[in-house]
């Protein structure tokens, strides 16, 4: 149960039609609970391997520093919040909290990294998910208390919280931050052409020889429709793409699917959406936005076009519960559909 974008491209799409072009330098690891890949093109092997290794070390550092349930700087802060005590944090963590607060507010707090206790109640702070529903009284009590990242205050390097029930979980945000870090590290090492994939959250630099980097977007019910991607897409320099779906981190009980994407308004997994994919233009936080902005679009359901406009997202697609694909006109023009049976509605 790893990753949201089907990186068929790494096995086939990236190599298809390459002819005699050399293969990209490639390194991979397992970080953030998912498969991570760095592909670099057009530099000497030693330079590419050194740059890729540095990126993977940074990913490992971020994963360890901000793990939500294993001992980390983040869990130390959560423990202090639970005790009602101020807690000193690094400048990096203070910056992450500040940025996450702004993103959460823009998305009406449908993306809220402060609901870690609710995520834990549903069993999603674990590498393996049990098909067990949480105690409804505990869920109701947390809903009534309404802990949120908005409860946190940052003064210098000290964090305080109005609520002891706030627990930070950066699972819907940190992979995107890591993509932006990777792009900056690679550029600083003279790498102009690369593709970085963190479990399906992807950022592209440059191109692969004379061809753009091409990715395949997974059909959320690929086990039912075959292994071909839903669509393919050529990424431009600096673009990032990310997907939130109900088909990777979930459990089933009595024929019902419960995914890890919780609606803070109900305290339960969001319903009505199978997947949302965003394409974000180049920018300093393109990776982060591709990760974080997909959450409110997934959770809000049928009202996603309004939320997309609020977030400034013009290239997005959503697959609803019955399998209909809704796609913005700006993204439809970029997609090559690979699943012709999919019902498509273009949204202006």
Which one-letter DSSP state was computed for residue 209?
T
Say what percent of the chain tops pLDDT 70.
92
pLDDT, average across residues 222-241: 85
pLDDT given for residue 297 in this prediction: 97
* DSSP letters spanning 261-282: -EETTTTEE--SEEEEEEEE-S
pLDDT of residue 348: 81
Mean pLDDT (the chain, rounded): 92
Per residue in 284-320, pLDDT (tens digit) is: 999 999 999 999 999 999 999 999 999 999 999 999 9
What pLDDT, on a 0 to 100 scale, did the predictor assign at position 17? 40
Q: SS3 for 153-190, per residue?
A: EEECCEEEECCCCCECCCCCCHHHHHHHHHHHHHHHCC
In the predicted structure, residue 228 carries a pLDDT above the cut 80: no
| CB contact at 8 A, 144 and 117 | no
Query: Strand ranges (DSSP E) for the chain?
Result: 25-31, 34-40, 87-88, 152-155, 158-161, 194-198, 201-205, 213-217, 231-235, 240-245, 250-253, 256-259, 262-263, 268-269, 273-280, 316-320, 325-328, 336-337, 344-347
- Give the pLDDT confidence score for residue 316 in this predicted structure: 98
Q: Quickly state the pLDDT bin for 271 (edges 50, 70, 90).
A: very high
Q: What band does 248 get if pLDDT is binned at 50, 70 and 90?
A: confident
pLDDT for residue 21 is more than 70: no
Burial 238-269 (b: 16+ CB within 10 A, else e): bbbbbbbbbbbbbbeeeeeebbbbbbbeebbb
Residue 341 has pLDDT above 80, yes or no: no
Tens of pLDDT along 50-78? 999 999 999 999 999 999 999 999 999 99
| pLDDT at residue 12, rounded to an integer | 34
pLDDT in tens, 132-186: 999 999 999 999 999 999 999 999 999 999 999 999 999 999 999 999 999 999 9
What sign does the dihedral 153-155-156-159 (CA atoms) show?
A: negative
Q: How far apart are the first and last CA of the chain?
A: 33
Report the 10 Å Cβ neighbour count for 325: 24
- For residues 320-346, give the mean pLDDT: 91
Q: What is the mean pLDDT of residues 317-343?
A: 91
For 14-40, what is the mean pLDDT?
Answer: 80
pLDDT cut 90: percent of the chain above it: 84
Residue of 341 and 55 predicted with greater confidence:
55
CB atoms within 10 A of CB 131: 12
Report the candidate in 150, 152, 147, 151 with the shortest Cα–Cα distance to residue 165.
147
3-class DSSP state for residue 41? coil
Q: How many CA atoms lie within 13 A of 122 on its CB side?
A: 26
pLDDT at 5 over 80: no
CA torsion, ordered 83, 88, 92, 93, to nearest 10 deg: 10
In the predicted model, is pLDDT for residue 14 greater than 50? no
Q: Is the pLDDT confidence value at 4 over 60?
A: no
Distance of CA 124 to the CA centre of its chain: 15
Query: What number is the average pLDDT over the span 206-234?
Result: 86
Q: Is the confidence at residue 3, as pLDDT, over 60? A: no
The CATH classification of domain 8-64+173-347, taken from the options 3.30.2350.10, 3.30.450.270, 3.10.520.10, 3.90.950.10: 3.10.520.10
Angstrom distances, CA of residue 331 to CA of 55, 241, 298:
29, 11, 17
- The bridge status of strand 268-269 relative to strand 325-328 is unpaired
Q: What is the pLDDT of residues 85-118, one digit of tens each?
A: 999 999 999 999 999 999 999 999 999 999 999 9
Domain ranges of the chain: 8-64+173-347, 73-103+130-161
> What are phi and psi for residue 135, nearest 5 degrees?
-65, 120
Mean pLDDT score, 262-282: 97
Q: How far apart are CA 22 and CA 122, in angstroms?
A: 47
């Amino acid at each position: 149960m790893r990753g949201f974008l089907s990186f068929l491209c790494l096995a086939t799409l990236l190599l298809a039609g390459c002819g005699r072009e050399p293969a990209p330098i490639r390194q991979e690891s397992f970080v953030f609970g998912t498969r991570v890949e760095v592909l670099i093109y057009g530099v000497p092997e030693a330079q590419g391997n050194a740059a890729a290794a540095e990126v993977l070390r940074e990913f490992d550092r971020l994963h360890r520093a901000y793990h939500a349930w294993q001992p980390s700087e983040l869990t130390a802060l959560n423990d202090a919040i639970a005790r009602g005590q101020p807690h000193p944090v690094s400048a990096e963590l203070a910056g992450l909290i500040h940025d996450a607060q702004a993103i959460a507010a823009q998305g009406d707090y449908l993306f809220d990294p402060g609901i870690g206790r609710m995520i834990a109640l549903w069993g999603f702070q674990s590498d393996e998910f049990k098909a067990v529903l949480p105690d409804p009284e505990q869920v109701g009590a947390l809903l009534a208390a309404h802990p949120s990242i908005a409860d946190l205050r940052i003064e210098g390097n000290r964090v305080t919280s109005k609520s002891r029930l706030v627990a930070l979980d950066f699972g819907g945000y940190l992979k995107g931050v890591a993509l932006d870090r990777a792009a900056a590290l690679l550029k600083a090492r003279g790498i102009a052409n690369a593709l970085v994939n963190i479990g399906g959250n992807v950022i592209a630099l440059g191109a692969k020889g004379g061809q753009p980097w091409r990715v395949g977007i997974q059909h959320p019910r690929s086990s039912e429709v075959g292994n071909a991607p839903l669509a393919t897409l050529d990424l431009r320099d600096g673009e990032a793409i990310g997907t939130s779906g109900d088909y990777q981190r979930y459990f089933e009980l009595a024929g019902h699917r419960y995914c890890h994407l919780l609606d803070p308004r109900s305290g339960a997994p969001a319903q009505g959406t199978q997947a949302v994919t965003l394409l974000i233009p180049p920018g300093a936080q393109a990776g982060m936005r591709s990760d974080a902005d997909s959450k409110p679009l997934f959770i809000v359901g049928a009202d996603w076009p309004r939320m997309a406009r609020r977030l400034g997202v013009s290239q997005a697609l959503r697959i609803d519960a019955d399998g209909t694909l809704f796609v913005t006109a700006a993204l439809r023009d970029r997609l090559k559909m690979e699943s012709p049976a999919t019902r498509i509605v273009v949204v202006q």
